[in-house]
A and B are shown apart, each in its own frame.
Chain A
């Protein structure tokens, strides 16, 4: 009956100081029973296309990933389902973690380049102002 459709849910939680014993879920992993860990759906709470699309792009750039897609479940709910299927027996958590790390590295590099560019522009402007005086 329902045995085949049993889904294994692994819930991780952030204990907040809100109330005794109350946990605010941030990340869930859902996979069908019987599969090994290479196809997993991650449920990311309090997230939308901002992180979803950029993370999907980074994960798709990984040649080990056979499928990666995300969807917002309903506009009234603020969570996304991100599904990853890998080639071979690579656990799906690995490209997920790698995608997050790579996205962080991209952001860090963009930040460094941007701040350097701003500083250069301001220095140029300052030296131009000085030369006109």
Chain B
């Protein structure tokens, strides 16, 4: 698709006799200029443009009063009409979806909440009864804290401040007890530790859940466990032992990153690539090589090779096209300002779609908290 600035064909200037200096400006030309101006405003409002040396139109400018002729006041109906969500890919650990028609401030709020404010359960206190391994107590405790625990945090409460013991509603207990011994049946000249020693690698599958109070009735056997059972915690040699008790509590990523429920959550804006002029022949092949595979398609039209933008969503914007003197003037790289491609990868504690729902509910909870505060103040 190529843009033709100035609207239709410009009229040829009529030759005038001497003495008249009135400019020849036919209505087509005026219309063309107006259209170009309107297009420029549209671009400023809806696109973030990637220039050769910088990025333009980064900030949201569509606030009431900034543009004449546009009504930018908040209208819930207009928002609901323009907004939609499309799920592109969903499996048990990762989710990719598009959110269209929302502003960066709110999309970013969701991303920040996914990373730091959706609660999970993680090991907080480690009571070490015996640790004769070469891994120090505190290093071991740190590693245990980072292990994702498969327990729905919505079924638990936060622990009260100052409460050392913990009750069944806010604590999960795990036991880790491993002792390494020599294998009496190993071959005489073997040097493979798997043969020589028994229990020399401590994995998360050695962690056993110790139900507190009525937890055994609430949670069936096997549901409260670490998410993965093959995470290596420590290595031992004969005579060394690890014997400890772990308390898991509910927390949020803001407090410590171990409580973050996502491997990562990120978003990118939908790329928008426009060809300003038709690109043909060898240049078309060169152009398709400047972008990620699948973005530019070279088609045979009437014997000539013509480049066409096929799927801009795949592009990662390496900006290779700006390194080519000929081609950089023919392309406009931009991003659509209100189209967010979210990618959420869960650590396994909760399915990713549940995490996004919980994040939205956290933001609602924050608003509700301040609305209640305002009501309380106004009643005073």
Q: A residues within 8 Å of B by Cβ?
A: 10, 12, 14, 18, 26-27, 29, 44, 47, 49-51, 53-58, 60-63, 93, 96-97, 100-111, 113-118, 120-122, 125
Contact = CB atoms under 8 A, between A and B. Distances in A.
A101 B367 CA distance: 7
A56 B105 contact: yes
A105 B368 CA distance: 11
Contact of B374 (A49, A50, A93, A118): A93
Given A102-B76, A114-B357, 12 more contacts: A26-B369, A27-B374, A44-B370, A53-B108, A61-B74, A97-B371, A103-B106, A104-B367, A109-B83, A110-B102, A114-B99, A114-B360
B371 A54 contact: no
B361 A111 contact: yes
Contacts of B112: 49-50
B360 A111 contact: yes
Chain A binding surface, main DSSP class: helix
Contacts, number: 129
A14 B373 contact: yes
Interface residues of B, number: 48
B84 interface: yes
A118 B353 contact: yes
Contacts of A56: 105
A51 B366 contact: yes
A50 B74 CA distance: 20
A115 B95 CA distance: 13
Contacts of B353: 114, 118
Interface of B: 60, 63-65, 72-74, 76, 79-80, 83-87, 90, 97, 99, 102-103, 105-106, 108-109, 112-113, 116-117, 161, 353, 356-357, 360-361, 363-364, 366-371, 373-374, 376-378, 380
26 contacts: A26-B370, A27-B370, A44-B370, A49-B108, A49-B112, A50-B112, A50-B363, A51-B366, A54-B106, A54-B108, A58-B74, A61-B63, A61-B73, A61-B74, A93-B378, A101-B367, A104-B371, A106-B102, A109-B76, A110-B85, A110-B102, A111-B361, A114-B85, A114-B99, A115-B357, A118-B87
